[in-house]
């Protein structure tokens, strides 16, 4: 007898194979019997999710019986007993539904009218046809009823039977005025219903205004939702209105209440002797801030000295908690915002500028209160001792990344000007090419050289333990005073930015380990081990290039991914493989119980260094100070054990929101930029492949899509495991990393999408 290919089964389930039809049996009873056997297979402890072909092999189902097996699987899905996971494999639902109705989940709308419902416990979302959406809006919690399976349907369908809870109560969009009423057409393309605005509820808006609309009545059969306009942002063509509409649509607060501003003014007083009492005085220690040219909220400073072979590295962070007391109006507002939001033409701060740009900013030449992590690091980059203390500092110089990098490039001889000096080999030439920064910051040059040396030592040690560095190009979007995009370039990551990154990481790790060892409630920045299924998918993809990953798929070591990235470094497929590897990673988040960070290969990690712009940093500063002042007790422990899980959950969500807004604004500006190049030809690289189109990224990071429908003379199949589109007729392949010549066809500001047309392959 032929051995089955599935390990662990052999012929264990041969007794469950679907027999040939027997006319003497009742067809309905026979179908039920076979259905029970298929479900029994999936309920077995040894069963692993399988595709239809694999199930047919296990059950010895021939081609003639495949149609009946398909029908059995569809019926089991319809009954809610089994489901199809994201990899197209059938598995038992852990808590099978006894009925096809009463299922509850979140409705995710699609711009084309249909949608999906995410249900906890079901790996695969339910598909809601447009005709069955009823009045559900994007984000609503709904009850659904499963629909009978359609022949050839790939996903279980359902219909909305009840709206349990509405998530959206405010819509931002363009006002369309009629004679005695109007409509608001939502900017969010997932909101498919226009909002009816009765006469007198329009706040005087005119046709073309971008407005904020409060929903007062939700729609019902044949009737649109109804609302009232609460704010007019301006005309759709006014400068800055496009960005403000995105900000408002995501519910990000842009103004501070009077009581918050008043409190900020009241606490933002100059540092007094009373403020400094009991603190470690570091005003005599030479220290600098290193930030971008336009930065105004300077919340971290660096000091560095040598003690024999050891380095004494000080990371000094603004003591924001001295001014933002727990439970105050400032604290409540900061918690509500969660993070500052950095957009192309503005910053929406977590704290009022009186604090973030004033007393909490480590400005040059001014006494400031700080929380310092002072680390003793040996010549191998190991932190052998540390001290965490409340301090008072006075910054000697406000440096920029550009200035520090210029000095280090000159000293290290990597600058073109320095190459010319070496070629000429004359002191006169050297003097002529000597950057002005060498003289302006002469008293600090030795410190910067030492910083560069220590940074390299720390980075090498981190890489040795397996830290992963995804160094993708990042767009720098430049706009004029009216918010119009003037240029897109690649943001430079120079030696100075790496220095600050390495030093901040060291402080974050040190603080996290210190408080983990103290066994006190704390907020960690967690990056979990990648999902085993995603790693398996990545491994299959890598196999196409002759690469493989070692180790346990469900408990992968970061060093294995690091080895892979080093192995492909410099190869044509390097960026492609790096992007696919990044997609296999989990998102970082805030937690109270897991101090590890997979990407950094760190056992302990937290966010300590930016309390001006991140609430989790501000929160842990309070815990740190209570411990330093011996005020931490059983009552405070109970308080933090109750509070921190909520803070971790909410700030993780708010961080995602800020990232989405930043991403949407960037997409908007890129669409605006490329709209001046309709019909122009560019060369780009395939950055994504889906069943509906090919995404192509240009060298300046602008991304557009070539719709599959525009690829002529063939029918294309999407191969998910290899990220390929393959033409059936001519066997034409399109895959990640492939270079294409494209033409810009359309730039849609409303949907923030760009369409390309294929010119030719390279």
Q: Report the phi/psi class of residue 758: left, alpha or beta, with left for phi > 0 and alpha for psi in -120 to 50.
A: beta
**Is pLDDT at 16 greater than 70 in this prediction?**
no
Q: What pLDDT score was predicted for residue 488?
A: 87
Q: What pLDDT score was predicted for residue 210?
A: 95
Q: What pLDDT score was predicted for residue 212?
A: 95
**Distances in Å between the alpha carbon of 138 and those of 116, 131, 458?**
10, 15, 47
Report which secondary-structure segment, H or E, holds 541.
helix 532-543
Q: What pLDDT score was predicted for residue 546?
A: 84
Q: How sure is the predictor about 295, in pLDDT bands with cuts at 50, 70 and 90?
A: confident
Higher-pLDDT residue of 153 and 325 is: 325
| Domain-ending residue, one of 405, 429, 454 | 454
CA–CA dist 314, 539 (Å, integer)? 42
3-class DSSP string for 512-529:
HHHHHHCCCCCCEEEECC
**Is pLDDT at 544 greater than 90 in this prediction?**
no
Q: How sure is the predictor about 86, in pLDDT bands with cuts at 50, 70 and 90?
A: low
**Is pLDDT at 721 greater than 70 in this prediction?**
no
Q: Are both 116 and 200 inside the same structural domain?
A: no
Q: Are both 229 and 296 inside the same structural domain?
A: no
Tokens standing for 503?
């030093």
Work out the percent of the chain whose per-residue pLDDT is above 70: 91
Q: What pLDDT score was predicted for residue 6?
A: 39
- Residue 447: CA count within 13 A, CB half-sphere: 21
Q: What pLDDT score was predicted for residue 233?
A: 94
Please write the tens of the pLDDT for every residue from 727-757.
877 778 888 888 999 999 999 988 889 999 9
| Packing angle of the helix pair 329-337, 634-674 (nearest 10 deg) | 50
CA–CA dist 593, 614 (Å, integer)? 20
> Comparing C-alpha atoms, which of 506, 287, 493 is closest to residue 401?
493
Q: What pLDDT score was predicted for residue 681?
A: 96
Q: Are both 82 and 149 inside the same structural domain?
A: no
> Comparing C-alpha atoms, which of 598, 597, 392, 599 is closest to residue 607?
597
The answer to whether position 667 is within a domain reads: no
The answer to whether position 700 is within a domain reads: yes
Look at 295-309, 482-496, 623-637, 648-662 and tell me which has the smallest mean pLDDT: 482-496
CA–CA dist 513, 604 (Å, integer)? 5
Q: What pLDDT score was predicted for residue 631?
A: 93
Q: Which structural domain range is residue 126 located in?
A: 103-165
Q: Are both 576 and 700 inside the same structural domain?
A: no
402-426 average pLDDT score: 68
Look at 140-149, 168-177, 640-649 and tell me which has the smallest mean pLDDT: 140-149
Q: Which long-range contacts (CB under 8 A, 24 or more apart) does 546-555 make?
A: 547/577, 554/529, 555/529
**Is pLDDT at 85 greater than 80 in this prediction?**
no
**Is pLDDT at 226 greater than 90 in this prediction?**
yes
Q: Are 610 and 620 in contact (CB under 8 A)?
A: no
The answer to whether position 395 is within a domain reads: yes
Average pLDDT, the chain: 87
Q: What pLDDT score was predicted for residue 222?
A: 75
- Burial readout 648-666 (b: 16 or more C-beta within 10 A, e: otherwise): beebbebbebbeebeebbb
Please write the tens of the pLDDT for every residue from 581-597.
888 889 999 999 999 99
Q: What pLDDT score was predicted for residue 154?
A: 63
Q: Are both 559 and 620 inside the same structural domain?
A: yes
Global confidence as pTM: 0.81
Q: What pLDDT score was predicted for residue 356?
A: 92
Dihedral angle, C-alpha 219, 221, 222, 227, nearest 10 °: -10
283-296 average pLDDT score: 93
| Domain-ending residue, one of 59, 92, 125 | 92
> Comparing C-alpha atoms, which of 428, 435, 384, 393 is closest to residue 413?
435
Q: How sure is the predictor about 52, in pLDDT bands with cuts at 50, 70 and 90?
A: confident
Please write the tens of the pLDDT for every residue from 411-422.
988 544 444 444
318-322 average pLDDT score: 97
Higher-pLDDT residue of 430 and 607 is: 607
**Is pLDDT at 342 greater than 80 in this prediction?**
yes
Q: Note the helical H segments in 372-494.
A: 401-412, 416-424, 427-433, 437-440, 445-465
The answer to whether position 176 is within a domain reads: yes
The answer to whether position 64 is within a domain reads: yes
Q: Are both 58 and 183 inside the same structural domain?
A: no
> Comparing C-alpha atoms, which of 620, 647, 740 is closest to residue 688?
740
Higher-pLDDT residue of 114 and 729 is: 114
Beta bridge partners of 90: 50, 84
Higher-pLDDT residue of 359 and 571 is: 359
Please write the tens of the pLDDT for every residue from 438-453.
999 999 999 999 999 9
**Is pLDDT at 21 greater than 70 in this prediction?**
no
Q: Are both 567 and 700 inside the same structural domain?
A: no
Q: What pLDDT score was predicted for residue 306?
A: 96
**Is pLDDT at 18 greater than 70 in this prediction?**
no
CATH at 227: 2.40.50.700
Q: How sure is the predictor about 623, in pLDDT bands with cuts at 50, 70 and 90?
A: very high
Q: Are both 366 and 268 inside the same structural domain?
A: yes
Q: What pLDDT score was predicted for residue 13?
A: 37
Q: What pLDDT score was predicted for residue 684?
A: 92
The answer to whether position 465 is within a domain reads: no
CA–CA dist 124, 483 (Å, integer)? 42
Q: How sure is the predictor about 62, in pLDDT bands with cuts at 50, 70 and 90?
A: confident
Q: Are both 75 and 118 inside the same structural domain?
A: no
Higher-pLDDT residue of 708 and 373 is: 373
657-661 average pLDDT score: 94
**Is pLDDT at 498 greater than 60 in this prediction?**
yes
Q: Are both 72 and 186 inside the same structural domain?
A: no
**Is pLDDT at 431 greater than 60 in this prediction?**
no
623-627 average pLDDT score: 97
714-728 average pLDDT score: 77
| Domain-ending residue, one of 436, 454, 472 | 454
Q: Are both 556 and 647 inside the same structural domain?
A: yes
Backbone angles phi, psi at 164, to 5 degrees: -85, -45
CATH at 32: 1.10.10
Q: Are both 527 and 591 inside the same structural domain?
A: yes
**Is pLDDT at 102 greater than 50 in this prediction?**
yes
628-655 average pLDDT score: 95
CATH at 711: 2.40.50.140
Report the DSSP pairing between strands 397-400 and 288-291: parallel
Q: Are 414 and 456 in contact (CB under 8 A)?
A: no
CA–CA dist 461, 552 (Å, integer)? 24
The answer to whether position 319 is within a domain reads: yes
Give how many domains the chain has, as a whole number: 6
> Comparing C-alpha atoms, which of 318, 264, 249, 312 is closest to residue 289?
318
Q: How sure is the predictor about 256, in pLDDT bands with cuts at 50, 70 and 90?
A: very high
Q: What pLDDT score was predicted for residue 151?
A: 60
Q: What pLDDT score was predicted for residue 9?
A: 37
The answer to whether position 250 is within a domain reads: no
């Amino acid at each position: 007898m032929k051995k089955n290919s599935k390990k662990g089964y052999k012929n264990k389930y041969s007794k469950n194979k679907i027999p040939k039809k027997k006319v003497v049996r009742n067809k309905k009873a026979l179908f039920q019997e076979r259905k029970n056997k298929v479900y029994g297979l999936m309920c077995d402890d040894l069963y692993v999710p399988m595709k239809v072909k694999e199930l047919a092999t296990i059950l010895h189902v021939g081609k003639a019986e495949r149609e009946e097996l398909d029908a059995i699987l569809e019926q089991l899905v319809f009954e809610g007993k089994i489901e199809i996971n994201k990899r197209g494999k059938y598995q038992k639902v852990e808590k099978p539904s006894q009925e096809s109705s009463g299922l509850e989940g979140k409705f995710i709308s699609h711009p084309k009218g249909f949608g999906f419902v995410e249900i906890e416990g079901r790996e695969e979302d339910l598909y809601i046809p447009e005709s069955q959406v009823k009045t559900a809006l994007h984000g609503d919690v709904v009850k659904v009823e499963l629909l009978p399976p359609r022949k050839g349907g790939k996903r279980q369908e359902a219909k909305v039977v009840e709206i349990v809870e509405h998530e959206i109560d405010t819509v931002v969009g363009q006002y369309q005025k009629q004679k005695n009423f109007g409509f608001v057409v939502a900017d969010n393309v997932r909101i498919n219903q226009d909002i009816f605005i009765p006469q007198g509820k329009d706040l005087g808006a005119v046709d073309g205004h971008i407005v904020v609309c409060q929903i007062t009545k939700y729609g019902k059969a044949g009737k649109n939702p109804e609302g009232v306009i609460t704010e007019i942002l301006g005309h759709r063509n006014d400068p800055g209105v496009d960005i403000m509409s995105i900000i408002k649509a995501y519910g990000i607060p842009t103004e501070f209440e009077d009581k918050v501003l008043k409190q900020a003014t009241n606490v933002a007083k100059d540092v007094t002797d009373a403020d400094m009492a009991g603190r470690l005085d570091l005003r005599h220690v030479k220290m600098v801030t290193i930030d971008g040219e336009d930065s105004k909220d300077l919340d971290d400073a660096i000091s560095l000295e040598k003690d024999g072979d050891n380095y004494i590295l000080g990371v000094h962070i603004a003591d924001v908690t001295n001014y933002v007391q727990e439970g105050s109006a400032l604290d409540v507002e900061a918690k509500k915002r969660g993070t500052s939001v950095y957009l192309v033409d503005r910053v929406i701060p977590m704290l009022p500028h009186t604090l973030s740009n004033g007393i909490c900013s480590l400005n040059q030449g001014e006494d400031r209160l700080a929380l310092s992590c002072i680390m003793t690091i040996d010549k191998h980059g190991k932190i052998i001792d540390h001290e965490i203390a409340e301090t008072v500092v006075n910054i000697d110089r406000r440096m920029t990344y550009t200035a520090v990098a210029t000095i280090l490039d000159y000293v290290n001889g990597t600058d073109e000007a320095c190459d010319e000096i070496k070629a000429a080999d004359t002191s006169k030439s050297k003097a002529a090419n000597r950057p002005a920064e060498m003289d302006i910051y002469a008293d600090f040059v030795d410190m910067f050289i030492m910083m560069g040396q220590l940074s390299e030592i720390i980075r090498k040690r981190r890489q040795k333990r397996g830290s992963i560095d995804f160094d993708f190009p990042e767009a720098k979007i430049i706009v004029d005073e009216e918010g119009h995009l003037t240029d897109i370039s690649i943001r430079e990551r120079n030696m100075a930015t790496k220095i600050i990154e390495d030093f901040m990481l060291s402080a974050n790790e040190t603080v996290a380990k210190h408080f983990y060892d103290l066994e006190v409630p704390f907020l960690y920045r967690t990056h979990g081990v990648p999902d085993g299924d995603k790693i398996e998918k990545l491994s299959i993809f890598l196999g196409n290039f002759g690469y493989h990953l070692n180790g346990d798929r469900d408990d992968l070591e970061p060093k294995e991914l690091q080895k892979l990235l080093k192995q492909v470094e410099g190869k044509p497929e390097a960026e492609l493989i790096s992007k696919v590897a990044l997609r296999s990673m989990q998102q970082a988040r805030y937690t109270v119980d897991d101090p590890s960070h997979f990407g950094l290969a760190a056992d302990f990690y937290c966010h300590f260094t930016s309390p001006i712009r991140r609430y989790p940093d501000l929160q842990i500063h309070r815990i740190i100070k209570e411990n330093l002042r011996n005020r931490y007790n059983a009552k405070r422990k109970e308080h933090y054990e109750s509070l921190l899980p909520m803070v971790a959950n909410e700030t993780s969500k708010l961080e995602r929101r800020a990232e989405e807004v930043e991403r949407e604004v960037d997409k908007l500006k890129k669409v605006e930029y490329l709209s001046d190049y309709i019909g122009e030809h560019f060369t780009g690289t395939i950055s994504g492949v889906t069943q509906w189109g090919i995404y192509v990224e240009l060298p300046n990071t602008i991304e557009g899509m070539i719709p599959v429908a525009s690829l002529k003379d063939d029918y294309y199949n999407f191969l998910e495991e290899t990220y390929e589109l393959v033409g059936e007729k001519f066997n034409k392949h399109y895959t990640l990393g492939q270079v294409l010549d494209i033409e810009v066809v359309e730039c849609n500001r409303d949907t923030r999408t760009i369409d390309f047309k294929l010119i030719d392959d390279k």
